Amino acid sequence: MALKADVRPITTFSKPICRTSTLLSSSHSSKPSQKKIMPSPESQSPSELPPTTRPTVHGLSLTPLTQCLHWSSPLDIIAIKHACCNKFYACISCHNAQESHEPAIWPRSKRDERVVLCGACGRLETIEGYMNGGSVCRGCGRGFNPGCKRHWGYYFEVEREEKGN
């Protein structure tokens, strides 16, 4: 009997972000139903608010958290917008498998660009914020893989000491 290879389809995800929740009053309470805006660190400045929908993330065997065929630990939950094609990919290997062009890195002068997507909450972070964020999302507090620091040079213009080598 021949063994079949585990072939997974190429997938992309685009999911809306919900920032509100409805609080229903108890039937024993005289208080009416209320809508409450869920607090988040980025709500202090309108220019920092994420878009109402997540960008489409490309990759191989993606999960809703942006884990992929190549990186799938509970901490592998970011996607990065690539400077060459302006598409979000779960990792550089997914980009290289699906694109016919060479990847390009974000120059140091663009560190204020929002190109890092948290797969848990959908927050778009700047390169600078991501690199200085201690491997934690500033929106939801979920941890990111600290080992990703070794791969920053695939995405961003970095100095040797920034890569942790």
How far apart (Å, rounded) are the C-alpha atoms in residues 111 and 126?
6
CB 38: neighbour CB atoms within 10 A? Answer: 9
pLDDT over 80 at 86, yes or no: yes
Q: How confident is the model at residue 17 (pLDDT cuts 50, 70, 90)?
A: very low
Helices and strands per DSSP (H, E), number in the chain: 2, 8
Q: Residue 1's pLDDT is what?
A: 41
pLDDT over 50 at 92, yes or no: yes
Model pLDDT for residues 93-129, shown as the tens digit of each residue: 999 999 999 999 999 999 999 999 999 999 999 999 9
Q: Residue 42's pLDDT is what?
A: 38
Q: How confident is the model at residue 132 (pLDDT cuts 50, 70, 90)?
A: very high
Q: Residue 53's pLDDT is what?
A: 81
Mean pLDDT of 8-32: 38
Model pLDDT for residues 40-82, shown as the tens digit of each residue: 433 333 334 444 588 999 999 999 999 999 999 999 999 999 9
Mapping DSSP onto H, E and C, the string for 52-76 reads CECCCEEEECCCCCCCCCCCCCCCC
Listed residue (139, 142, 152, 141) closest to 51, CA to CA? 139
CB 140: neighbour CB atoms within 10 A? Answer: 14
